[in-house]
Copies of this chain bind each other. A is one copy, B any other.
Amino acid sequence: MTLTERTELHRLPKRGSHDPAAIHAILDAGFLAHVGFCAGGQPGQPKQPFVIPTLYGREGDTLYLHGSAASRMLKELDGGAPACVTVTLVDGLVLARSAFHHSMNYRSVMAFGTARRTDDPAAKTHALRVIAEHLMAGRWETVRAPYEKELKATAVLAFTIEEASAKIRTGPPLDDEEDYDLPIWAGVLPLQLTAGAPLPDPRLANGAEPPEYVLRYRPARG
């Protein structure tokens, strides 16, 4: 990963980091990315940004993305267009004594790079496995593996992180000193993505019980 003006931390640099370990930890804790790319735009016309939510898996500085072979995102990115992949984990609402100092506790990564389509069936299967295991470790081995026609209908992109930055806010509100005596409740309301009880498929006729890895699943871990 390199460092250019794209990931310079303009705002509140104390919240920012270029530490690869911090970046990887956030990418490993999340599972939903918002992928941005610029498309269209006739000569003289501005480009149109698109922001698409998608699942991902990480291997080193590669993020694997997948989707239908017909999807616009995969077609645009396979052309080598610059992309921005952002992952945000919401940790809490920061309720200050003043409107101005309200904030959010969060961890986010903004990663810049380009993507290439993976066509080799073995490499594709490997990438899909990384995505699946990232989402729910243990699942891949227990389900019916992809048929060749399913692999063909699936596009897999390997997005290489060229540079990235992390932003993290933790802790209580930071109010103006003279506001601390105001008779206003202040603090943090923690927020976390949590799993409910598994809902069996209504057509689950085989008496199968939810496996341990489903029952113990904790989203946005880390």
Contact = CB atoms under 8 A, between A and B. Distances in A.
A187 to B, nearest CB: 4
Contacts of A173: 201
Contact of A82 (B10, B36, B49, B183): B49
A104 interface: yes
Contacts of A51: 34-36, 51, 84-86, 110
Contact of A186 (B81, B191, B195, B204): B204
A53 B185 contact: no
Contacts of A202: 172
A92 to B, nearest CB: 8
Q: Please name the 9 residue pairs, one residue from A and one from B, whose CB atoms are nearest each other, closest first.
A: A190-B196, A36-B51, A34-B34, A36-B49, A38-B38, A51-B86, A185-B208, A53-B88, A36-B36
Given A32-B88, A48-B112, 13 more contacts: A10-B71, A46-B82, A51-B51, A95-B139, A97-B143, A100-B154, A144-B182, A184-B208, A185-B210, A189-B199, A190-B195, A190-B197, A194-B194
13 contacts: A10-B70, A11-B71, A51-B51, A51-B84, A52-B86, A53-B106, A95-B136, A99-B143, A102-B135, A144-B179, A144-B182, A185-B209, A189-B195
